[in-house]
Amino acid sequence: MQDRDQDGSSAASHRYVALLRGINVGGHHKLPMRDLAAMFAAAGCEDVRTYIQSGNVVFRALPELADGLPTRITAEIAASHGFQIPVVMRTASDFDRIVRDNPFLAAGVDPAKLHVGFLAAAPEPTRLAQLDPDRSPPDAFEVRKGEVYLHFPAGVARSKLDNAYFDRTLNTVCTIRNWRTVGKLHEMLRGV
């Protein structure tokens, strides 16, 4: 039997967030959050909580369980709801770094104009070199580790810096969250 922390969770479990791309957007790929939370609980995750309808799940899990979760959850969604959805995960310590290291926030940019693209895999240097800093002026971006920090001064709606661009250019999967959501998930991870 595993030891338990004061909150009742397994002592060896870690805090994670799973970020799903493209669910409940514009009436497409509908997936109730209670169904999504149930999938994570059935997989063995603890303290499962969701945030807004766009597919953000905060939970605790053993590292060996967490390693296979993106593939498992993608397969379960395909089987139960009939569509493929990428799942990108980060640890609580990843989120500490992400919030601390935002170069645009450090430069005093309005947080309401900031987003973060979470990459499923760190891009190769040759792929990074293919990114065009002038693709969508006045928008700006900076890639650090597995994240793309984004500044959209005129808003995100007309930007050419989208998931498809980063997927194609970096040869990985990208899912983007606004800075408010990043902050809320960080709070949830610290409170789990």
pLDDT digits (tens, 9 = 90+) for 85-117: 999 999 999 999 999 999 999 899 999 999 999
Q: Nearest Cα to 50, choosing from 61, 40, 42?
A: 40
Residue 166 Ramachandran class (φ > 0 left, ψ -120 to 50 alpha, else beta): alpha
| The token pair that represents 164 in the structure block | 């498809």
| Per-residue CA distances from 157 to 104, 113, 139 (Å) | 19, 12, 11
pLDDT score for 58: 98
User: Which residue in 67, 88, 77 sits closest to 20, CA to CA?
Assistant: 88
Q: Omega before 153 cis (within 30°)?
A: no
State the pTM of this model: 0.91
Percent of the chain topping pLDDT 70: 93
pLDDT band at 8 (very low <50, low <70, confident <90, very high): very low
Contact 150, 116 (CB under 8 A): yes
Strand partners, 142: 149
* pLDDT at 41 > cutoff 90: yes
Residue the block writes with tokens 């595993």:
2
